[in-house]
Amino acid sequence: MIGSGDTRRRAVLLLVAALVLMTAFSTSYIGAFHDPSPRDVPFAVVAPEGRATQLADRLDALPGSPLDVRVARDRAAALALVRDREVYGAYDAGANRLYVASAANRATATALELTLGRALAAQALPAAAVQDVAPLPDWDPNGTTLFYLVVAWVFGGYFAATVLGLLAGPRSSTRRLAVDRLLGVLAFATLGSLLTVLIARWSFGVLDTDLLATWAAGILVIGASGAATVGLQALAGPAGTGLVILLFVILGNPAAGGPYARPLLPDFWSAIGGLLPPGAGMDLLRGVTAFDGARIGGPIAVLAVWALLGVALTVFHGGRPARSDAETAAEAAAGAAAA
């Protein structure tokens, strides 16, 4: 039997917060993953004798708009677009060959094969031969290792920031203490990235890619997540932790482009994925491990913005008094989220 009226109210508040978070979690993940279908997937075509534009128009007009087609001047240009991550695949009509990059996302490569196959069959044409020009490595045949590594990095960043907040308070009592929390997050990011990468390499034989580039990517992902958490906690007190869980876990993870690339997700998740740390982290890690650094400028910029936002909020709000009434209510939500 729950005791005092005060305790009952806190228990009810905690249960309501838990219900809200559970419902949001299930809604986001089911909404993102219940029907992965290609939607405007960037795609290139090559065709002989000036037929490329006609072919592109025909593929662009497929029901449901699964492809966003552009014309490449020749096969070499089309392959360059695939390897530079400008498109997910390319079709050479003259050779009847489809080029895909499963390292960009296995599910998308499969979706392109099925989509083009149906389009060709509708015209009584033979299926295209498929060539994977950027295959998944042997150590990650399903393309999930990088996703779970990014999830761990993002979790590590906001968890480390929250633990430091337990010691210093979610709103640090002085700006110096606030800056010390940020430095603690940076130290954690530097060590944590190296440790996770080395364990993955030595224990499981994965991530046999450029060590320094992968380490640096991890520092940026962990650091951005941690700094953003410190900043949001400085802005909103304990409620900042709940906001981080909403943005980075409930929304960010399913929109990250891990199991399914963002062109396979519904519009909402497709639109927000690259703007949140999990999605930017996936784009960055894929670029440095499988595509020789192609198209990593965008995700680096996104992560840098999150980090700088966190630093700015932390420094500005460090030492400001907290409003205890608001924090009391927020602690319940944050506690439910942590559970």
pTM over 0.95: no
How confident is the model at residue 169, as a pLDDT?
A: 62
Q: What single-letter amino acid sits at 185?
A: V
Contacts for 68-71 with beta carbons within 8 Å, 24 or more apart? 68/40, 68/41, 68/42, 68/43, 69/43, 69/44, 69/45, 70/42, 70/43, 70/44, 70/45, 71/44, 71/45, 71/46
- Does the pLDDT of residue 35 top 80, yes or no? yes
How confident is the model at residue 41, as a pLDDT?
A: 98
- Does the pLDDT of residue 2 top 60, yes or no? no
pLDDT in tens, 279-299: 999 999 999 999 999 999 999
Cα torsion angle, 96, 99, 102, 104, sign: negative
Write down the mean pLDDT value for the chain.
90
At 14, the pLDDT band (50, 70, 90 cuts) reads confident
DSSP 3-state of 124: coil
Run of H or E residues at 33 = helix 5-33
Residues 215 and 194: beta-carbon distance below 8 Å: yes
DSSP 172: T
- Does the pLDDT of residue 339 top 70, yes or no? no
DSSP 3-state of 325: helix
How far apart CA 234 and CA 161 sit, in angstroms, is 11
pLDDT in tens, 153-180: 999 999 999 998 887 665 666 778 888 8
How confident is the model at residue 237, as a pLDDT?
A: 84
264-276: average pLDDT:
97
Cα torsion angle, 265, 151, 280, 333, sign: positive
How far apart CA 220 and CA 189 sit, in angstroms, is 8
Residues 171 and 234: beta-carbon distance below 8 Å: yes
Question: CA triplet 329, 9, 236: central angle to 5 degrees?
Answer: 5
Tell me how far apart the terminal alpha carbons of the chain are, to the nearest angstrom. Answer: 21
- Does the pLDDT of residue 270 top 70, yes or no? yes
How far apart CA 32 and CA 26 sit, in angstroms, is 10
How confident is the model at residue 168, as a pLDDT?
A: 66
Q: What is the largest CA-CA distance in the chain?
A: 83
189-196: average pLDDT:
98
Lowest-pLDDT range, 3-7, 106-110, 203-207, 319-323? 319-323
How far apart CA 228 and CA 157 sit, in angstroms, is 9
How confident is the model at residue 176, as a pLDDT?
A: 81
Starting at the earlier edge strand, list the strands of the sheet with 97-100: 67-71, 41-46, 89-92, 97-100, 129-132
Beta bridge partners of 71: 45
Structural domain spans, the chain: 11-16+140-338, 41-132
At 338, the pLDDT band (50, 70, 90 cuts) reads very low
Beta bridge partners of 99: 90, 131
Give phi and psi for 146, each to the nearest 5. Answer: -65, -40
How confident is the model at residue 327, as a pLDDT?
A: 46
HSE-CB for 3 with a 13 A CA cutoff: 3
pLDDT in tens, 69-123: 999 999 999 999 999 999 999 999 999 999 999 999 999 999 999 999 999 999 9
How far apart CA 58 and CA 53 sit, in angstroms, is 9
Residues 181 and 328: beta-carbon distance below 8 Å: no
pLDDT in tens, 125-149: 999 999 999 999 999 998 899 999 9
The radius of gyration of the chain from alpha carbons, rounded to an integer in Å, stands at 23
